[in-house]
């Protein structure tokens, strides 16, 4: 009845302009809703016939109602399988930090320091003290071939401690690439697994430059590679040698992850380190190694075991022509930054 009164004048039918027609259609949809007891669609993206009547297309109301268009975020908040994609200043990250900051969570940060990499360890630890999960109980586990790497020791804040774990000397990248994941597996299966709830593995030649808080915590956490974040799938440097245990087929893979920073609960990290170690040892027995070294095996594992939490490139970044723009830098790779420099700049920066 209300619709009839709106669309007719006492003198008879009148010509309605477009806005009146749209309002009539809207009122008609409300009447259908109340009589049939059906729920209205929750999103403009749903297949609702009313969207065509109102002039909607692809989630947008055309011209007359253009102010109500949906917003297409440039920073995705979720993966295709429903895992959160973490941006440090998002509403979800702020909420998670507030929710978890008051809990007593034991977190380990594990890094390998051998040979000349000892020069990075103090800078790494100082930056972690400033930015890595402030207020939480953190243990730094340093796998090293030199027990005097931190002599004198670094002064740490309340609730923070450091433990040195012995590792045999591993000269050269070739041996290190074969052994690092094995060393991580042994360490996590040992005392680390009994002392912390979460463990994160990090390359020592990095620097925390922004807050890294409880938003990173998850069962299995991977970090997006900044040079391939917005690249199409066919540009990902997955292993393509069919004989390698790290080989990825053309129809596999969603993202390409960096080996600079990854982690999760102890049980998940035990499994990851063990299975990646087995893949590496299997290739070693066949006298081969994946082109991307440890990173290739990590990506193979994360295709078969999708992460429950994916960190944005804010948590692994360096300046190069390929790196994606990020709202805020939080963890920067000094080693990969040097790789991006030309020869002259490498010498200038003493890379």
Domain boundaries, the chain: 88-349
The pLDDT mean for the chain works out to 80
* Cα 165 to Cα 212: distance, rounded to the nearest angstrom: 25
Residue 93: pLDDT over 90 = yes
**Binding-site residue set:** 117, 203-205, 225, 295
N- to C-terminal Cα distance for the chain? 80
Q: Quick one: which of 259, 262, 256, 201 has its CA closest to 227?
A: 256
pLDDT digits (tens, 9 = 90+) for 286-341: 999 999 999 999 999 999 999 999 999 999 999 888 888 899 999 999 977 767 66
Is residue 296 within 8 A of residue 253, CB to CB? The reply is no
**Binding-site residue set for UDP-N-acetyl-alpha-D-galactosamine:** 117, 203-205
Q: Quick one: which of 95, 105, 114 has its CA closest to 264?
A: 105
Is residue 159 within 8 A of residue 130, CB to CB? The reply is no
Average pLDDT over residues 83-96: 94
**Binding-site residue set for Mn(2+):** 203, 205
Residue 282: pLDDT over 90 = yes
Task: Collect all residues with Cβ–Cβ distance below 8 Å to 262 and sequence separation of at least 6.
Answer: 200, 201, 221, 222, 223, 272, 298
- The percent of residues in the chain predicted with pLDDT above 70, rounded, is 72
Return the CATH superfamily for domain 88-349: Spore Coat Polysaccharide Biosynthesis Protein SpsA; Chain A (3.90.550.10)
Residue 45: pLDDT over 80 = no
Q: Quick one: which of 280, 258, 318 has its CA closest to 184?
A: 280
Q: List, by residue number, the catalytic residues.
A: 295
Least confident of 55-69, 94-108, 158-172, 286-300: 55-69
pLDDT the model gives residue 147: 79
Average pLDDT over residues 240-267: 96
Q: Are strands 56-57 and 60-61 parallel, antiparallel or unpaired?
A: antiparallel
Burial of 260 (0-12, 13-18, 19+ CB in 10 A): buried
* Cα 184 to Cα 188: distance, rounded to the nearest angstrom: 6
Residue 170: pLDDT over 60 = no
* Cα 305 to Cα 181: distance, rounded to the nearest angstrom: 17
Is residue 253 within 8 A of residue 292, CB to CB? The reply is no
Enter the tokens of residue 331: 């963890």
Enter the tokens of residue 335: 């080693």
Confidence (pTM): 0.76
């Amino acid at each position: 009845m209300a619709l009839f009164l709106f669309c007719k004048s006492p003198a008879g039918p009148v010509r309605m302009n477009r806005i009146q027609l749209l309002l009539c259609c809207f009122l008609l949809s409300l009447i259908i809703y109340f009589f049939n007891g059906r729920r209205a669609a929750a999103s403009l993206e749903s297949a609702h016939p009313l969207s065509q009547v109102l002039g909607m297309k692809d989630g947008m109301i055309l011209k007359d109602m253009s102010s109500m268009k949906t917003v297409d975020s440039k920073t995705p908040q979720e993966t295709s399988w429903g895992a959160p994609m973490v941006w440090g200043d998002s509403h979800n990250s702020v909420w998670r930090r507030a929710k978890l900051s008051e809990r007593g969570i034991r977190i380990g940060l594990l890094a390998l320091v051998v040979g000349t990499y000892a020069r990075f360890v103090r800078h790494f630890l100082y930056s972690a003290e400033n930015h890595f999960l402030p207020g939480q109980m953190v243990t730094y586990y340093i796998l090293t071939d030199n027990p005097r790497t931190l002599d004198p020791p670094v002064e740490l804040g309340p609730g923070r401690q450091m433990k040195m774990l012995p590792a045999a000397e591993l000269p050269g990248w070739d041996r290190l690439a074969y052994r690092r994941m094995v060393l991580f597996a042994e360490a996590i299966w040992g005392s680390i697994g009994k002392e912390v709830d979460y463990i994160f593995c990090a390359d020592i030649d990095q620097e925390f430059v922004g807050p890294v808080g409880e938003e990173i915590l998850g069962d299995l956490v991977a970090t997006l590679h900044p040079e391939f974040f917005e690249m199409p799938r066919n540009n990902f440097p997955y292993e393509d040698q069919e004989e390698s245990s790290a080989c990825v087929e053309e129809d596999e893979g969603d993202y390409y992850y960096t080996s600079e920073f990854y982690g999760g609960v102890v049980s998940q990290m035990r499994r990851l380190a063990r299975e990646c170690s087995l893949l590496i040892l299997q290739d070693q027995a066949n006298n081969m190694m994946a082109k991307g070294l440890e990173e290739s095996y990590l990506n193979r594992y994360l295709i078969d075991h999708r992460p429950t939490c994916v960190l944005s490139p804010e948590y692994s970044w360096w300046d190069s022509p390929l790196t994606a723009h990020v709202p805020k830098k939080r963890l920067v790779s000094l080693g990969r930054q040097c790789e991006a420099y030309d020869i002259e700049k490498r010498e200038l920066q003493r890379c």
